[in-house]
Amino acid sequence: MAAMQAGQDLLYEAREGVGRLTFNRPQARNALTFAMYERLAQICEDANRDRSLRALLITGAGDQAFAAGTDISQFRAFDKPQDALDYEARIDRVLGALERCRVPVVAAIRGACTGGGAAIAACCDLRIAGRSLRYGFPVARTLGNCLSSGNYARLAALIGAARVKDLIFRARLMHAEEALAIGLVTEVVEDAAVPERAEEVVRLVASHAPLTLQATKEALRRLQPVLAPGEGDDLVLLCYMSRDFREGMEAFLAKRAPDWKGL
C-alpha cells in the first residue's frame, strides 16, 4: 500500500495532543514522492477519527527546504493523458484531505517551499516561516506544466489572482518579508527560531476549544469556490502532453536550460 511505503521519507509521531509530521528527504530538499503524498492524506484522515488529537505540525527535515515540490523523476513514467489527469487528481485529493482535516494544521517553513510543497503549505491553517523562505511555483521556468484548477482556486483565495499570475508568469520565488506583508505567512522569525516558535504556536492552538476551531476551519473552507469534477482537465492535458513538458523534465534532470517551443 502506497501510504505505508513512505517509510523513513515521512516521519510522524503524536504526543500530548499534537501530531508532528516531517518530510524527511533533506538530500533531495524534501521533494515528495507519491507515497509521501498518500501518507500525508492518511495522517489527515486518521486525525479526523482520533479525538485525542488537537493539532498537527508539518515541517521539513534540515534547514534547506520545507518541500521542493514533487520528485521530478517520477514524471518520466508519464506516457498517456490519464497519467497526467491521475497525478493532478491525486494532488487535489491529498490537498483536499489536508483542508478537511478536523484539527488546525501549522506549517513550520525554512528555505524552499515550492511546487507541491508550496501547495501543501497553502492548505495549512497557520504558517511560521524563517527568513530564508522562498515560496513559489516556478513551473514556467522549469517543467512547463501547470497547476490544477483546484490549486489555482486555492491560491487565488489565499493571495489573490494578480499575485498568483505574478508568481507563475515571472517564475519567481517570494521572500519571507513579502509573504508576511500579503498574509501568506503568519509570522517570520529567524531560521534557528522556527522550530521552537512553531511548537509554541501549535501548543497554543491545541489548548483552545477544539469545536470552535473545527467549526471555524470548516466554515471558511465552505466559502471557497467549488469546481465541477473534471473542470480544467483540458488545461492539464494541454501542458502535460506537450513536447515542452517532456523537454522541461529532461532539461531539469540534466541541469540544462529548456528549449521551449510552445508545442
What does the pLDDT read at residue 73? Answer: 79
Q: At 196, which CATH number?
A: 3.90.226.10
How many domains are contained in the chain? 1
If you average pLDDT over residues 186-208, what whole number do you get? Answer: 98
What does the pLDDT read at residue 76? Answer: 77
**Residue 9 belongs to a domain:** yes
- pLDDT of 83 strictly over 80: yes
What does the pLDDT read at residue 226? Answer: 86
**Residue 26 belongs to a domain:** yes
Are the C-beta atoms of 214 and 121 separated by less than 8 Å? no
**Residue 246 belongs to a domain:** no
pLDDT, the chain, mean: 94
- pLDDT of 128 strictly over 60: yes
H or E, element range at 196: helix 194-206
Domain of residue 198: give its range: 2-212
**Residue 101 belongs to a domain:** yes
What does the pLDDT read at residue 5? Answer: 52
Are the C-beta atoms of 113 and 133 separated by less than 8 Å? yes
What does the pLDDT read at residue 75? Answer: 81
pLDDT tens for residues 163-178?
999 999 999 999 999 9
**Residue 159 belongs to a domain:** yes
CA distance 246 to 239: 10
Task: Please state the three-class secondary structure of 20-46 as a single string.
Answer: EEEECCHHHCCCECHHHHHHHHHHHHH
pLDDT tens for residues 209-237?
999 999 999 999 999 888 888 899 999 99
- Return the closest-CA partner of residue 58 out of 121, 136, 137: 121
Residue 57: CB atoms within 10 Å: 25
**Residue 220 belongs to a domain:** no
Amino acid at 145: N
R_g (Cα) of the chain, nearest Å: 18
What does the pLDDT read at residue 102? Answer: 97
Are the C-beta atoms of 19 and 46 separated by less than 8 Å? no
If you average pLDDT over residues 183-199, what whole number do you get? Answer: 98
**Residue 86 belongs to a domain:** yes
**What's the count of helices (H) and strands (E) in the chain, helices before strands?**
10, 10
The three cell numbers of residue 106 are: 501549522
